Amino acid sequence: MQELIVSIFIAGYLFIAFEQAVAVNKAAPALLTGVLCWTAFILAGHADHGAVAERLMVHLGDVANILFFLLGAMTIVELIDAHGGFDVLTRSIRQTNRRSLLWLIALAAFFLSAVLDNLTTTIVVLSAVRKLVRDEDDRLLYAGAVVIAANAGGAWSPIGDVTTTMLWIGGQISAWRIMGRMLLPCLASVVVALLLIGMGMRGEVRHPLPDATSASSPVPRRSQIVVLAAGMLALMLVPVFKAVTHLPPCMGMLAGLALLWVLTERLHGGRSAVERQRYSVTGALQRIDGSVILFFLGILLAVAALQAVGVLDLAGTWLRVHIVNEQAINLLIGTCSAMIDNVPLVAAAQGMYGQQYPMDAPFWEFLAYCAGTGGSLLIIGSAAGVAAMGMEKLTFGWYLRRVGWIALLAYFAGAGVFALQASLMAR
């Protein structure tokens, strides 16, 4: 049964990887893969069907938390964009040099990701990039840089990446210690990536042409600022909401969306029905690419099936037996997180090594780095990458050719800085 489910996963993964060649939206094979993995589990596993169904419902709860978080974040960003909120920010950016703008955008994503999270940061920053860059080739490179920067930025903060948060909540790392120890390695990986991506950039960027639609129905500047401030506040308060209430992050995101919904309805109460529709949440939902949500659903269901049948546990046991060096184990976990969701990988590591290493041990700190930044190696390796795929139509092949090798070098560069830093501190 395990062999069958792994085979289904690999076949589905290949269809996703070669999306352009098969000419089928990646959401379709992802959904089919997720359903077939669970179908094989319940039919070929000769297990208690009721127990399998209950396990599926547990995993669906975890998946729903991520999907509703993503849906809420994308809707809030779309509302800000519809009101011209990002224009308030982009008008203050005068930089037109391609390389300088790359550094500005990526470093903004790096530090913003530590406060928000890598998924929300990617959505916010790429929405701003659309207002600054017209050429699609430039935007794709900027999107690749943002994915690397957002993932690295989330790895050094206890609230910036879901895996770092897991280690923090699990008691493997402490907040201030991880920030102090991981900032330099994460920043080093981003700097290396930006140097490599920027080598081929010359000249000036072209700004997008004015949007005739928005020009015919302008939003007052006061409303732009109000919606921008309210939307950003709603996003930034999600970690606070989680810390205070201990509810899943999606609840804070949905609460923020609901409050912003009320605000925008009140702001446009005097407009016509057509205009209110455009500036409301219902209008924003119509403009969101729903295939991104369905793709994410399929991938997470497939990974959950691998976890449910014990494939990930077997992989973790193999690592513990055959690879003794702890840094090599973490590097391999980070590399695997580019293909398999890093959440179950980190969860498996917590279970295997929870009693072996104390709090704030270098093993846990390096795991936070590897699991957070390793997802940048492939475009489908992180929530930030999946969001970038949907927003800028990045393909698996393009990212692998143009950005993947850069992400790999940046990944090892940051790992080298961590090793050097640990060696110096041990003296």
Residue 193 has pLDDT above 90, yes or no: yes
- 243-300 pLDDT tens trace: 788 888 789 889 999 999 999 888 887 777 777 778 888 888 888 778 878 887 888 7
* Domains: count for the chain: 1
**276-283 — which CB contacts under 8 Å span 24+ positions?**
278/82, 278/217, 279/79, 279/82, 279/83, 279/219, 281/75, 281/79, 281/257, 283/82
Percent above pLDDT 70 for the chain: 91
- Could you tell me which residues are beta bridge partners of residue 97? 204
Q: Are 386 and 380 in contact (CB under 8 A)?
A: yes
Residue 328 has pLDDT above 80, yes or no: yes
Task: Check residues 236 and 421 and name the one with the higher pLDDT.
Answer: 421
Whether 3 is in a domain gets the answer no
Residue 214 has pLDDT above 50, yes or no: no
Q: Which domain holds residue 96?
A: 58-427
Residue 30 has pLDDT above 80, yes or no: yes
- 67-119 pLDDT tens trace: 887 788 888 878 887 887 777 776 777 777 888 899 999 999 999 888 777 87
Rounded to the nearest 5 degrees, what angle is found at the Cα of 79, between the Cα atoms of 158 and 212? 135
Whether 39 is in a domain gets the answer no
Q: What is the pLDDT of residue 215?
A: 46
CA pair distance 9, 345, nearest whole angstrom: 16
Whether 29 is in a domain gets the answer no
Q: What is the pLDDT of residue 47?
A: 64
Whether 2 is in a domain gets the answer no
Whether 21 is in a domain gets the answer no
- 346-363 pLDDT tens trace: 766 776 776 678 888 888
Whether 34 is in a domain gets the answer no
Residue 241 has pLDDT above 80, yes or no: yes
Whether 37 is in a domain gets the answer no
Backbone angles phi, psi at 229, to 5 degrees: -65, -45
Question: Which of 199-213, 220-234, 274-288 shows the lowest mean pLDDT across its residues?
Answer: 199-213
Q: Are 172 and 354 in contact (CB under 8 A)?
A: yes
Q: What is the pLDDT of residue 61?
A: 85
Task: Check residues 405 and 340 and name the one with the higher pLDDT.
Answer: 405
CA pair distance 27, 377, nearest whole angstrom: 20
| Mean pLDDT, residues 210-216 taken together | 48
Residue 188 has pLDDT above 90, yes or no: yes
Whether 134 is in a domain gets the answer yes
Confidence category of residue 35, pLDDT binned at 50, 70, 90: very high
